[in-house]
């Protein structure tokens, strides 16, 4: 005899993907706020980030600061909108996460470990937003929650376990 264990579904519309979408929204908010703060630091102080080596994609730190500031605000706003259930935020989130992956790759010489962490978070956000497909309700019949019904009360010792649908039996009438 063999035992089979059920693995959690991992396809589109699964609980894993739905939970991942919520987590992606939270990650977008956190990554956006941190990008905003990175931008402020890079704009105010050019000597905060040390360059690791010579790199083909070189901008001044002030330029990187403005890029991080603007993209950080957009990512945080989109993450918040995603948590609020905006349909457009899913598509904009995929685009902004993809843009963030490219920008973090270009930012590697300034903060290599943090840039790699942000790239990994961006890949997760793209996966989560691309795989989860929320259930759409029809416009004619909006989904409403019904109040839970109380369970039936068990019969007491005086009541029979079954009842006659025609009513109580008359003891004066002979039974057929």
Say if residue 176's pLDDT is above 80.
no
Of the pLDDT bands very low, low, confident and very high (cuts 50, 70, 90), residue 102 is very high
C-alpha pair distances (Å), 64 with each of 30, 60, 106, 108, 135? 19, 6, 10, 12, 39
At residue 34's C-alpha, the angle toward residues 56 and 93, to 5°, is: 80
Between 166 and 12, whose confidence is greater? 166
Q: What is the average pLDDT across 144-172?
A: 61
Q: What is the average pLDDT across 18-39?
A: 89
> Helix, strand, coil shares of the chain as percentages rounded to 5?
55, 0, 45
């Amino acid at each position: 005899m063999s035992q089979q264990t059920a693995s959690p579904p991992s396809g589109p519309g699964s609980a894993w993907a739905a939970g991942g979408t919520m987590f992606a929204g939270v990650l977008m908010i956190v990554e956006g706020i941190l990008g905003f703060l990175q931008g402020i630091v890079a704009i105010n102080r050019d000597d905060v980030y040390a360059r690791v080596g010579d790199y083909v994609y070189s901008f001044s730190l002030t330029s990187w600061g403005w890029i991080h500031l603007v993209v950080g605000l957009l990512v945080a706003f989109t993450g918040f909108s995603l948590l609020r259930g905006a349909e457009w935020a899913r598509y904009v989130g995929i685009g902004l996460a993809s843009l963030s992956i490219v920008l973090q790759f270009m930012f590697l010489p300034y903060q290599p470990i943090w840039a790699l962490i942000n790239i990994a978070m961006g890949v997760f956000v793209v996966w989560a937003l691309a795989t989860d497909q929320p259930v759409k309700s029809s416009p004619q019949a909006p989904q409403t929650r019904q109040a839970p019904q109380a369970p039936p009360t068990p019969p007491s010792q005086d009541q029979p376990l079954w009842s006659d649908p025609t009513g109580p039996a008359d003891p004066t009438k002979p039974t057929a």
